[in-house]
Structure 1
């Protein structure tokens, strides 16, 4: 309103000046005072024109400012609706996680002190079995943060994710993932490049079952993308192998190729050094994973490993190598493992999985004879399981699972038993947020 009144006054003054100028222009002789007055009027006209232009520019700037303010307000509302916030350092942050309650009823076998899969150490028949035990925990409850900071050189990303599965007694905070990404590089802790869980059939057990691997390592990783369907991933990893005095990180490589929207293949390799105070030995491994969607609602996953000398990447294996009294490495353990499963999505709320896993160690007499306790090393392991997940509403998942497995040790217990059974029922309730 004020801008409009000022504009009206300026126009009126300009009109008056114009009338006076016209009248004076008709004078026959130009009096010096009249000529001076004419010059002053012209100068005043120029000043008024400049003021009018400035007012118009200010009006345009005000309108642009109001438009930008509305746009920023809409952007802020959109960010809040999407769950994004800004950190002190200016990064976009997304918070996520779940509350998870696990229940396990051990029908037969299984160590009393632990919940979740421990097939490699299940009690041998008739030897301190822990049967008919009910266990529960919320230790797999998870909290996570994703970060992204736009920079002139590209986005810098990161993740921090924790749960409470640290320590032998559980209920201890531990880091699952903590890393930063920039371009094709990743630095920090996340899934091992050699032993990712991508091709393990779904399970309620938080550790999965034999034949697969649940391994997170500190690493430096580089991803080379050839095209939309193929990439190579290279990493130097700290495998956290307590049995070895690590001097060099493990080198891992992985090739991923998508043949179609329904078929994905991953081939992997690993080489690392195993070292004692007196000796060292090379360990290596290869792996192949496949995911195939038979139909939009039916998918198959399979994962295979062959490893020599390492026990840190693939879960539930025997120790990677044995030593003599002088810390000389006598022999290494070599094994094959496989897991395969099929998942069916029955409807939007119900899905189920059937799976099987198997691991077989090489029958190496020199390795076996060097073992201090042959009942703690396994000739083979297997597990079969079936589960059903039901989601009554989107953020809630309820599941029940039955698993039966067996281990066969290289040595017999005092009662002559070489086998132990893992027979149990798992249940879970998860609220994702």
Structure 2
């Protein structure tokens, strides 16, 4: 009866008389039955189909990162392939260590055999780099980790060199990264990989705490040590028995930034009684030595945005016995015979102008100098120690498409020793960098 009523209603809607002849009514009933059958078949087919496959990878929380579905850790893989090309109009520089980037403390001195080896041209790719960043939420906030390495080592073998390896949770950073004494934001850009003379460029293992004071800036404290547990820099005659202590205050805004830095580091010598073989083949007793002096350093730097496309950068550092914290430091000198350590007084500064010339072209002009000052160190130092080193650069970097940069630069460097000798090194630097993971 209900079916008859339904058919009658549909027939009325279609302007078909409710009491049509039986053949018409039967035909309509058949059409309705066919429709119901088709609907049932569609429902059955949908039920039989498998659910859409779950995405294996989704977008992560870090820029350019990803994370596996169902997990909270975001991972970003980044780096670049880079080729450096150099033409050195001066003599051979730092050939013993294979450091092909500019290194002013080893500029060939006029009249030396290395000075006669002018006009070398070479290319290398060992500044190429790869790194991994990760971020995961925890009850104490985001845990950020980073591991980065390149192939830039002094052996020329292309082995990995660890740059960064640290974890950061809240205000704490533990691991190896840029020294707290270094101010990256006041360092002008150069095509040369080693950067301007007179700067601090150093990565060390450290435990660092940062206190953000809002409008008053950030206050940072860290204890740091030499990387690899051994010699870093030219202070190889001395050792550090306790960690370095580094403090920094920094404040940044739309106008630029300013940073004030300070450090204290130990320069110590210590050895046991021992015997040594003389030139005649006999043995001689050598008493143990013990001596220590604490070095210190201070620095001030910053950058100022003159216009949205022009920035001025400057930094200066001064200290006594800073050692590896100064790129071109002559290092402490140990006098084992008298149980004394002599520390050099040094200062350095870097100036730079960076200009955005267009959306794809930028340029920079830099000058830097580092100088050894007077003091008791001068009286015991070898005459070949550097009195001063300096360099200037003029360069441009062109980014024709995303992730590609081509740079060219002219660099002029000069070195002078305590005994009055000197050397000058003009060179052209080129670099092609192809980045990924940005």
Give the corresponding residue for 2:15: none
Q: Deviations over 1:47-106 (max 9, x none)?
A: xxxxxxxxxxxxxxx9xxx9xx99x85x95444994413499962211110001000111
Give the corresponding residue for 1:380: 388
Contact kept? 1:117, 1:209, Cα under 8 Å: no
TM-score, scaled relative to structure 2:
0.76
> Within 1, Cα distance between the matches of 2:57 and 2:395?
43
**Structure 1 residue 327, shift from structure 2 partner:** 6.3
Q: Secondary structure at the match of 2:138?
A: coil
> Within 1, Cα distance between the matches of 2:341 and 2:380?
8
Give the corresponding residue for 2:285: none
Which of 242, 267, 276 pairs up with 1:274? 267
Which of 329, 338, 342 pairs up with 1:331? 342
**Structure 1 residue 204, shift from structure 2 partner:** 0.8
Q: Deviations over 1:220-261 (max 9, x none)?
A: 000000005611111000134622322110000000012x41
Quickly say closer, same or farther: Cα 1:330–1:314, change in 2 above 3 A.
closer
Give the corresponding residue for 1:295: 307
Give the corresponding residue for 2:298: 286
> Within 2, Cα distance between the matches of 1:274 and 1:311?
9
- Match status 1:246 vs 2:231: no
Which of 99, 122, 137 pairs up with 1:114? 99
Quickly say closer, same or farther: Cα 1:325–1:296, change in 2 above 3 A.
same
Give the corresponding residue for 2:404: 396
Q: Which structure 1 segments of 5+ residues have no match?
A: 1-61, 413-417
- Aligned ranges 1:16-31 → 2 under 5 Å: none
Contact kept? 1:323, 1:370, Cα under 8 Å: no
Q: Deviations over 1:27-62 (max 9, x none)?
A: xxxxxxxxxxxxxxxxxxxxxxxxxxxxxxxxxxx9
Which of 86, 93, 96 pairs up with 1:104? 86
- Aligned ranges 1:133-152 → 2 under 5 Å: 133-152=120-139
**Structure 1 residue 214, shift from structure 2 partner:** 1.3
Give the corresponding residue for 1:355: 366
- Match status 1:255 vs 2:249: yes
Q: Deviations over 1:128-183 (max 9, x none)?
A: 22310012110010101111111233221100000001233251201100000111
Which of 144, 150, 156 pairs up with 1:163? 150
Give the corresponding residue for 2:74: 92
Contact kept? 1:85, 1:92, Cα under 8 Å: yes
Contact kept? 1:276, 1:327, Cα under 8 Å: no
> Within 1, Cα distance between the matches of 2:149 and 2:211?
28
> Within 2, Cα distance between the matches of 1:327 and 1:220?
35
Quickly say closer, same or farther: Cα 1:123–1:327, change in 2 above 3 A.
farther
> Within 2, Cα distance between the matches of 1:275 and 1:87?
54
Q: Deviations over 1:344-395 (max 9, x none)?
A: 101011010000001111123x322322x321x1111111111100111011
TM-score, scaled relative to structure 1:
0.77
Q: Which structure 2 segments of 5+ residues have no match?
A: 1-46, 271-289
Contact kept? 2:320, 2:343, Cα under 8 Å: yes
Higher helix share: 1
**Structure 1 residue 272, shift from structure 2 partner:** 1.3
Which of 313, 320, 324 pairs up with 1:308? 320
> Within 2, Cα distance between the matches of 1:324 and 1:350?
53
- Match status 1:212 vs 2:199: yes
Q: CA RMSD in A?
A: 2.4
- Count, aligned residues: 355
Q: Secondary structure at the match of 1:326?
A: helix
Quickly say closer, same or farther: Cα 1:227–1:122, change in 2 above 3 A.
same
> Within 2, Cα distance between the matches of 1:272 and 1:245?
10
Contact kept? 1:101, 1:138, Cα under 8 Å: yes
Q: Secondary structure at the match of 1:312?
A: helix
Q: Secondary structure at the match of 2:350?
A: strand
Quickly say closer, same or farther: Cα 1:246–1:393, change in 2 above 3 A.
same
Larger radius of gyration: 1
